[in-house]
Chain A
Amino acid sequence: MSEREIIEKKSGEHRETANTSREEQINLLQSITMEVAAASDLSSALEIVLRRVCEKTGWELGQAWVPNRDKTLLVCGPVWFCGEADLKHFRAVSEKSHFQPGVGLPGRVWKSKQPVWIEDVGDDPNFPRTKAAKAVGLKTAVGIPILTGDEVTAVIEFFLCQSRSENERLVNVIASVAAQLDLAIERRTAAEELSRTNDILRSVLSNMGDAVIVADKEGKFLVFNPMAERMFGTDALQMPSNEWSHRYGLYLPDKASLFPHDQLPLTRSIRGEEVNDVEIFVRHEKAPKGLWTRVNGRPLRDLNGELLGGVIVCRDITPIKEEEFFRAGQSRVLEMIASDAPLADVLTSLVLLMEGQAEGLRCSILLLNRDGKHVRHGAAPNLPEVYVKAVDGAPIGPRNGSCGTAMYTRKPVVVTDVMTDPLWADYRDLARISGLNACWSTPILSPQGEVLGSFAMYREEKRGPRPEEARLTEIATHIAGIAIDRLRQQETLRERDARISFAAESADLAFWVIYPEQNTAWMSDKGRVIYGFDSKLPLTRELLVSRVHPDERAAVRAAFDRACASHGIFESEHRLVLPYGKTRWVIVRGRCLEDEHGSLLELIGVTIDVSAQKESDLQLQIQREELAHLNRVALMGEMTASVAHELNQPLTAIANNASAARRFLERGNVDPLLLPQLLQDMVADSHRAGEVIRGIRALVRKDKSVVRSVLNLNAVIADTLRLVSSDVLLCESVVTTEMDHNLPQVEAAPVQIQQVLLNLIMNSLDAVEALPPAERRIIISTRSLNGESAEVSVRDFGTGLPKDRPDKVFDHFFSTKQTGMGMGLTIVRSIIETHGGKISAENAPDRGARFFFHLPAARGDSKSQAA
């Protein structure tokens, strides 16, 4: 269709548009384009198009159709333009209409995405609004799609009351206008979209809890959100990046060194690095206590990967860090406890830690004395000294300040105003001086529930504890409880140790441990003194053994090896030879300890220095021997008759023989047979005399008196009786013997056994002295006790022993005699006991006394005797 034809077709219409020239059409296009570009939204742009097309081309009605939300129907848009004709009825019908794709004029355009021209809508079969159109006289209709890309975003339609064939040029013009509209709509939508995104972003950046900062390549801040302003105390200051740390107060975690600018997360992300979880301490005028931030950074790039700048997100982690530091502080205090730091230091650290957790908080720890009645200063680094001193040593009680009362009642005591609280009556002035108004105290309890002390919080404000302060109290009392309880336990242990080592030192006890595996040994200080080891000398088992007297060393080593092999016990009494030759007698007892698998762990034991005891034992031994000797000498004195007689006989014989020989020689008639006999007899008698003297000497000699040999007691008895025969004779007494010929032999010192027998016999002789000669009888008998020991009994028929306690005769200085020392029987008992035997005394059933002793059979003898 040509431009001309359109003009022709429009002729006679109420608006003169028929002669619309090409120029006019171009003008129309330009003006519409400019107006549409200036339109603020799609609706107004559409309205412009509808109006301008109608005005410029004479079409009477323009309407727009837009797809519904789910794009199934076209609905009538709110914008329309109507010329002078009364087309409201048709408009009303259109507003109520909607079209599926392909239905009606808009539906056809929507579906085909092409303009559609209808010469007469009254004749068109696919025009549902025909009736309404006829009613208002509408004939020609044209529909134009508005495409965005490939999608129909709207359909515009125009109507004319005259029938007119399709005017292609007009259609093209309108289509061009519609295309402008399409561009305008696209542009507008993009702008609207961008603007909305920006709004959201701005809102997010404004409200988010993290600081966000974006900078370009030159370090110029593009984004600096409100949180960033709050965190860094100022809005974006444009300055070279090397001034950032200084100006914004950015520090390394040591809180002192400025953060190196080239290491700042923003600097690094501008350089193209990804930065993760860098912690920065921030301190500036508005945050004098400082805060902690954790920063993540990313580089900013365009679609081509070109670096544009960097962005960082900073999160305030101050509460997390504070909790972390608080926990670390607790750990430090616990470590101090574990490493046995002094209690005062531990408690002071604890108090300082707690005070650091809240502004204006002061704390103190008091200890309860062991008497359970008075307090002792524990820690109060920030309370005045006068206050601390006044409280130290104060009693606890039901009205004794917060702490004294808390310890007394075992319950927390909260005093919100010490100036009025009755509990503080005695301490008000102190509190005033110290500037304390509120004091809350909680008892510190041991795990066993024992009151150890109290933890108190003080404030200048008159108030009670807040939840976070209650939490601090809970932690502080817990840790203080651990510290004090541990100290108490250690004190108890130390006291016990001290008592043990005092006891050990008093008792000359050495403790030692030998670790056979490691070939090392440990010894208590006293032990080192006993063994003569320097206090620092590392010890080994061999070193310990090397101190043993050479004579006993092999035996001690063997005993030690036996104990180790059997995991058993070790016992030995031996001598130690110390440097410089000093000798000690020690008793050593040890025991093997095994681990859970039963392998030998260590040998622990004690060494007792028994030198003093041993010395006195030796002294006693010497005294005993001295006494025994005296006893034997005394016995000799008592045996004068026997001694004299025994010596006299051979001496008399010698003298007589000698005299006889001299006389025979003087007379000159020597019997040649007699003289040798005579001389031989003289020799024999002199030997006999010598024997007597030897016997006496053996009895009174000191040395060899304890030398033992295997003896037959029957023989010893016979010898002894010979020795005293004269005395028996002089007493006009009779000694009879009843010997057991199967008597086992014994291992004994002959002199001592003779001494025992002599004592018993002389006693018996004394006992029978007062009797008529016929009754002066003594019976000595022996018998074997199952072959295991030999018993000797000496029985008389005298007056007997004390009725109540016959054994009393063995006591020191017991004597019924006028002349005796009273030592004889005591010595007798000691001799028998030294020989492993036993002696008793009893009154015989009829009359007289009976002494009997037995000695163990010599080793190896009991069997032969029993067989």
Chain B
Amino acid sequence: MGDRAICMTSSEKSDAEIVCLVDDDLSVLKSIERLLASDGLSVRRFNKPKEFLTYVQAHAVPLVVLDIWMEEMSGLEVLAQLGALSPSTRAIIITGREDPTVKLTAIQSGAVAFFTKPFDDHQFLNAVRGALALHPIE
């Protein structure tokens, strides 16, 4: 019920302000949504990467926060497809594992920020704001 309430709130906003979240861990997914909501940002959650890739083809998505290690599909793969499907969508990577190779690949694939879980909420929100061309938090 609570989840739906947040979604309802965000759905009232324009697509341009909505941040997409892709993580196969529901708990993590919900917590990031709440963090972004606490900064007044609207969020659309995706538990499965493929569902996001379908969505992004039909909607304008300014920013996606993307997990790397997911059962169905790696975040890097999603990132690679995203370049073709929606080149305007910016991507922020969150990963559970510090891996320079993965980080390098992600940056090369166009990711604008790379966070290792757990991350600093301030830095994360600033990165999101930056990606959305909003004012950073003081």
Contact = CB atoms under 8 A, between A and B. Distances in A.
A655 B122 CA distance: 12
Contacts of B27: 649-650, 653, 681, 684-685, 688
Contacts of B12: none
B96 A660 contact: no
A641 B97 contact: yes
B51 interface: no
A674 B6 contact: yes
A653 B31 contact: yes
Interface in B11-28: 25, 27-28
B119 A652 contact: yes
A662 B35 CA distance: 9
Contact of B34 (A648, A656, A725, A730): A656
A37 B25 CA distance: 177
Interface string A664-702: 100100010110011001001100100000000000000
A651 B27 CA distance: 10
Interface string A614-656: 0000000000000000000000000001001100111111111
Contacts of B70: 729
Given A729-B71, A732-B74, A660 B118 contact: no
A652 B34 contact: no
Contact of A644 (B32, B38, B97, B119): B97
Contacts of B38: 659-664, 667
B75 to A, nearest CB: 11
B117 interface: yes
A671 B71 CA distance: 33
A645 B96 contact: yes
A742 interface: no
Interface centre among A659, A661, A664 (most CB of B within 10 A): A659
Contact of A648 (B35, B118, B121): B118
Contact of A730 (B1, B6, B69, B119): B69
A648 B31 contact: no
Contact-residue size bin, chain B (C-beta under 8 Å from the other chain): 20 to 34
Nearest to B102: A730
Contacts of A330: none
B74 A655 contact: no
Given A649-B117, A674-B2, A674-B5, A656 B35 contact: yes
Given A656-B35, A730-B69, A651 B121 contact: no
Interface centre among B28, B70, B97, B121 (most CB of A within 10 A): B28
Given A648-B96, A651-B117, A729-B69, A660 B37 contact: yes
Contacts of A673: 1-2, 5
Given A671-B5, A677-B2, A726-B69, A652 B96 contact: yes
Contacts of A663: 35, 38-39, 121
B44 interface: no
Contact-residue size bin, chain A (C-beta under 8 Å from the other chain): 20 to 34
A611 interface: no
Given A644-B96, A660-B37, A730-B97, A681 B69 contact: no
Given A648-B117, A674-B2, A729-B71, A660 B34 contact: yes
Contacts of A730: 69, 97
Interface string B76-106: 0000000000000000001011000000000
B48 interface: no
Contacts of A163: none
Interface string A695-731: 0000000000000000000000000000001100110
Given A644-B97, A730-B97, A660 B69 contact: no
Interface string B31-65: 11011011100000000000000000000000000
B129 interface: no
A773 B30 CA distance: 31
A657 interface: yes
Nearest to A645: B96
B4 to A, nearest CB: 11
B78 to A, nearest CB: 14
A457 B2 CA distance: 129
B31 to A, nearest CB: 3
A483 to B, nearest CB: 96
Interface string B99-128: 000000000000000000111010000000
A641 B119 CA distance: 18
A652 B31 contact: yes
A656 B28 CA distance: 8
Nearest to B69: A729
A659 B121 contact: yes
Contacts of A645: 69, 96-97
B25 A657 contact: no
A579 B40 CA distance: 82
B113 to A, nearest CB: 16
Nearest to B9: A671
A606 to B, nearest CB: 64
Contacts of A664: 38
A105 B70 CA distance: 184
Contacts of A677: 2
A685 B37 CA distance: 20
A660 B31 contact: yes
Contacts of A674: 2, 5-6, 34
B69 A656 contact: no
B114 to A, nearest CB: 15
A541 to B, nearest CB: 69
A648 B35 CA distance: 17
Given A664-B38, A673-B5, A657 B31 contact: yes
Contacts of B6: 674
Contact of B25 (A649, A659, A661): A649
A678 B6 CA distance: 12
A685 B118 CA distance: 13
Given A649-B28, A671-B5, A674-B2, A655 B121 contact: yes
Interface in A472-490: none
B127 to A, nearest CB: 14
Interface centre among A648, A653, A726, A729 (most CB of B within 10 A): A653
Nearest to B1: A673
Interface string A713-757: 000000000000110011010000000000000000000000000
A678 B38 CA distance: 12
A667 B1 CA distance: 23
A651 to B, nearest CB: 5
A645 B71 CA distance: 13
Interface centre among B34, B39, B94 (most CB of A within 10 A): B34
Given A645-B96, A673-B5, A681 B31 contact: yes
A725 B24 CA distance: 13
Contacts of B117: 648-649, 651-652
Contacts of B121: 655-656, 659-660, 663
A217 B27 CA distance: 148
A617 to B, nearest CB: 44
Contacts of A655: 31, 118-119, 121
A681 B35 CA distance: 13
B35 A660 contact: yes
Nearest to A734: B71
A2 to B, nearest CB: 196
A729 B97 CA distance: 12
Contacts of B74: 732
Given A648-B96, A649-B96, 13 more contacts: A649-B25, A649-B27, A649-B28, A651-B117, A652-B31, A652-B96, A652-B119, A656-B118, A663-B35, A663-B38, A663-B39, A674-B5, A681-B30
11 contacts: A652-B28, A652-B96, A656-B28, A656-B32, A656-B34, A656-B121, A661-B34, A667-B38, A674-B6, A681-B30, A729-B70
**6 nearest A-B pairs in the assembled complex, by CB-CB distance:** A656-B31, A663-B38, A659-B121, A660-B34, A652-B117, A653-B31
